[in-house]
Amino acid sequence: MHIGSGAAPITLSLRAGIAMLAMAVSGCSAGDDSQQTAAVTNFTPPATRTPTPVAGQAQTTPLTAYVGKYPHDAVDGVDFFDRTEVAGGLLAVVDDARLRLLIRGRSGPQTPIFQRGRRIASWGCEAHNCGDHNWMVAIDPAGGTAQACYHDAGTMRDQSRWYADGAPVLRPGACPSEGNDA
């Protein structure tokens, strides 16, 4: 291995070159522990706050305007999951931050937003595994109350976990992906 340019390159053994490269990539030198600090073990992340509209940008478009559109299609500049009543409703009923991110995310297929009884709902699933892993959130436009459903056949078999007021409950079947009364 040759390092440098010009008339007198420096020749190193392959082993020494690899060691120098490893130190350069890791950003430290051999035997230098002066930059290491103890990891913080008592970190508590801040609490998730209920969303509020940006000042001067009240959401006046009715939630029903989203029916037939995909969840991340903006209506008057705001997508379904960024609506205050949707984000707040989901936060109110689902304590699990990972599950909220899964429901809001773009990680898999989604159906157009649909009406389910009096609620406006969005359904999504895991790519290539929709029958066994899916979710749904439904918002009552009159009061902003939410319901969420999560189905994972690997852990729940033929049931889904429903979130609403109080503790989640198991119900038969996967999460609904179309409108029917509930």
User: DSSP of 60-119, one letter per residue?
Assistant: -S-GGGGTTS-TTS-BTTB-GGGSHHHHHHHHHH---HHHHHHHHS-SS-BPPPEEETTE
Q: Tell me, yes or no, whether 42 lies in a domain.
A: no
Q: Tell me, yes or no, whether 41 lies in a domain.
A: no
Q: Tell me, yes or no, whether 81 lies in a domain.
A: yes
Q: Tell me, yes or no, whether 69 lies in a domain.
A: yes
State the average pLDDT over residues 128-143: 94
Pick the closest to residue 157 from 170, 148, 168 (CA basis).
170
| Greater pLDDT, 14 or 160 | 160
Q: Tell me, yes or no, whether 74 lies in a domain.
A: yes
Pick the closest to residue 176 from 128, 113, 129 (CA basis).
113
Q: Tell me, yes or no, whether 47 lies in a domain.
A: no
Q: Give burial (CB, 10 Å; 0-12/13-18/19+) of 48.
A: exposed
**What CATH number is given to the structural domain containing 125?**
3.40.1420
- Specify the number of domains making up the chain: 1
Q: Tell me, yes or no, whether 1 lies in a domain.
A: no
Q: Tell me, yes or no, whether 106 lies in a domain.
A: yes
List the domain range (segments joined by +) for residue 124. Answer: 63-172
Distance CA 101, CA 113 (A): 18
Tens of pLDDT, residue by residue over 44-84, are: 656 666 666 566 666 789 999 999 999 999 999 889 999 98
